[in-house]
Structure 1
């Protein structure tokens, strides 16, 4: 085996665990507020969770084909460069640097701080201060190297399952009359098409992370067989957990109450377990958010660092520098942290998540279309895995993504406009630097 090749050691079970671990984060605990606010009715809200899962499964199955066929460092950036040219890969890297990762980090820091304020009965004026402190703390911890960041991630992954299953089990058993809260299906004052679309955007934040599933294909023993099983099995299990826990929420509190609170999971936990037990569950939720936040800080810095290594960003000399002792991309971490802290001052969790979902789904849809394009342009390309039921599965992913994008354009034109503007800003920067790009093994001039 070539020394540069990845070891093929991952089987089906660890692949399933990776899928589940990458996807389940904070959205399941906090997005019920946005979902039931958007729909005005529990039935349509539950439909949004199911549709979000179906679109994610279709997206995962589709993106996995191109991931297995082009197992290059950079993931989606490499897929877009191969299919559409360097500019689109650059714009994705730029958008991930200035919008996607910072907005994710800011949103998670805000919701972490909201949970802390609620748990400790602090004044709301402390919210932004706590959010900024947790970002700075985790940037410092990750500067100690990926081993430290990985250890935090492992502990958080285990802890996040505890509040999930505790709420599901006790919530479903807590109130025999709770089933009536699953109806009505729709609300008269909420148009179905736009309401479902807005709720779907909210649920997609909870499903975020599935695009990384294909990244493990090069390390799987049998990707053609096990990769689709891991995607369908892992995302189906995640969808089942999301649907069941939302049913548990509705068994305890009506949709109108869930829509009115910033901390739906914590409120449900207090009712089920009492004040003391509720606080323990809330701490578990905090650990889950902390882990998700750590994951985005850990991985987010790698995007500008990788671009800086190739001299693609202004200030690449500085951004490409590593910590002298721990060899972590400390300067890139500082850049992402600064942008994240600026976004924290918006104080709007749902606006930030809708913004990042809108922007990233533009590139997701391009990735799905790339699968079809490469089938035509490069029919002889080695594909260890092919998306099943082609072209039906890619069509579901593309149509679902287009619905999310168009709905955001119509219902949140300002948010969509901000996302498009910040992405387009990357184009003149690309033009000004494209003649200075260097291969990653070159030194930066």
Structure 2
């Protein structure tokens, strides 16, 4: 195992690391999962509790996952961590799940949101949502096929812009004071009618994890940090902690401005919550301007998942771990971009878009990826015992307490989903399991090591 410290210059201090953490995690989920969280919890108090606990689990997850990223600094991320710990089969399955479910479903769900917001902004019929979503995803893929420079420019531009609507909603919302007739309370923490406390909390956490997702990548900068053992845990805990505070304030603003149920702009069942709340805060024109900012944020997030996602099949194809590896490994002549992987990801995403089911797609991708995240948390503890001499530029603090919190939180989300949304979970498991026969066929054909 090569040590990343010997390969990369150590130039990153605390504040750049903090900015990387926040930029990686903050996406579009905070604007659009408020509806789903409110629906499954049924109350403002349990909805806010779900956002809070989701943040705590994400902090522990980020601190834990960063140890693997620092110790196993290989292209492929999660797939390489699991392969190193459990063998090639589990690494393959993680890569397969990311290629078939996680990245395409992210692109599909976010494109649906983009289409929904465009339709709402211009007063277009909802029947146009999916066509707009498809066009959006196609344009992002085309930008990525133009080269990493073009995709990187879009990512850098939208990274700055996506913070503007968040900042506006937080700052103005804090001083607004809420709308008359809206019942907002934090205590006592109770679920809505006909909803069990643990069921509501579990489904609420599943929904919030889409907004908090991204922490798995933050450890990748450990080898470039001046003092990773000190600065990385601070950057992760403070970064995700600040994100959690922002998410809590934003959702409190939504829930104080809009009724939970029973009105045209109610939170439950409304993917335009952020837009409707912005109209209350800033008026019609101001609300539209904020919505445009949110649209740019969503577009940038789709670009990020497209850019990262098309490289997972490429990494697997280079090791002959995908059917038609010669195609998945094909690069454009000038820009050296994995064009077939990008087109494949787009096609799978379009199939998913045709369901027009944002919450179902996001919940399925979160369920599937958290199965592998839980394995990653256990991997930290397994490797501590099995490979005590493995070079670890960063070690998770308060070991083993923080990994155990991350693991227990992950298991609660996964098990709760199996019981409360069995069909959704089963679809995710089946799509993942489809890769198993391909693995054994390819292993026999190319004789790669497990």
Moved over 3 A (4+): 1-4, 176-180, 435-439
What are the superposed Cα offsets for residues 385-436 of structure 1, whole Å, 9 maximum, x if unpaired?
Answer: 2211111111100000000001110111111001111111111101000144
- 1: CA distance between counterparts of 2:169 and 2:290? 8
- 2: CA distance between counterparts of 1:418 and 1:3? 41
Is the contact between residue 67 and residue 214 of structure 1 (CA under 8 Å) also seen in structure 2? yes
1:78 aligned partner: 80
Matches within 5 A, 1:119-130: 119-130=121-132
- 1: CA distance between counterparts of 2:26 and 2:283? 26
Deviation at 1:251, TM superposition (A): 2.4
* Residue 209 of structure 2 is aligned to residue 204 of structure 1: yes
2:15 aligned partner: 13
Deviation at 1:252, TM superposition (A): 1.3
Task: Find the partner of 1:316 among 317, 325, 336.
Answer: 325
Deviation at 1:146, TM superposition (A): 0.7
- 1: CA distance between counterparts of 2:445 and 2:165? 50
2:96 aligned partner: 94
What are the superposed Cα offsets for residues 190-214 of structure 1, whole Å, 9 maximum, x if unpaired?
Answer: 1100001001000000001011011
Deviation at 1:438, TM superposition (A): 8.6
Is the contact between residue 301 and residue 332 of structure 1 (CA under 8 Å) also seen in structure 2? yes
2:378 aligned partner: 369
Task: Find the partner of 1:239 among 237, 244, 268.
Answer: 244
Gaps of 5+ in 1: 440-445
- 2: CA distance between counterparts of 1:289 and 1:7? 33
What are the superposed Cα offsets for residues 78-112 of structure 1, whole Å, 9 maximum, x if unpaired?
Answer: 11111100000000000000000000000000011
- 1: CA distance between counterparts of 2:269 and 2:90? 40
1:427 aligned partner: 436
- Cα RMSD (Å) of the superposition? 1.7
Deviates more, 1:92-101 or 1:254-263: 254-263
Is the contact between residue 179 and residue 258 of structure 2 (CA under 8 Å) also seen in structure 1? no
- 2: CA distance between counterparts of 1:325 and 1:258? 48
What are the superposed Cα offsets for residues 289-316 of structure 1, whole Å, 9 maximum, x if unpaired?
Answer: 0000010001100000111122211111
* Residue 271 of structure 2 is aligned to residue 266 of structure 1: no
Deviation at 1:174, TM superposition (A): 1.8
Deviation at 1:258, TM superposition (A): 1.1
Deviates more, 1:125-134 or 1:172-181: 172-181
SS in 2 for 1:255: coil
Could you tell me the TM-score, scaled by structure 1's length? 0.96
SS in 1 for 2:175: helix
1:298 aligned partner: 307
* Residue 389 of structure 2 is aligned to residue 380 of structure 1: yes
Gaps of 5+ in 2: none
Is the contact between residue 11 and residue 226 of structure 2 (CA under 8 Å) also seen in structure 1? yes
SS in 1 for 2:335: coil
- 1: CA distance between counterparts of 2:447 and 2:275? 49
What are the superposed Cα offsets for residues 21-52 of structure 1, whole Å, 9 maximum, x if unpaired?
Answer: 11111111010000000111001000000000
**How many residue pairs get matched?**
439
Task: Find the partner of 2:152 among 147, 150, 153.
Answer: 150
Deviation at 1:176, TM superposition (A): 5.5
Is the contact between residue 60 and residue 403 of structure 2 (CA under 8 Å) also seen in structure 1? yes
Task: Find the partner of 1:68 among 67, 70, 84.
Answer: 70
- 2: CA distance between counterparts of 1:127 and 1:144? 26
2:117 aligned partner: 115
Matches within 5 A, 1:413-424: 413-424=422-433
* Residue 361 of structure 2 is aligned to residue 356 of structure 1: no
Deviation at 1:70, TM superposition (A): 1.6
In the superposition, relative to structure 1, how do residues 238 and 183 fare at CA in structure 2: closer, same or farther (>3 Å)? closer
* Residue 45 of structure 2 is aligned to residue 43 of structure 1: yes
- 1: CA distance between counterparts of 2:138 and 2:219? 31
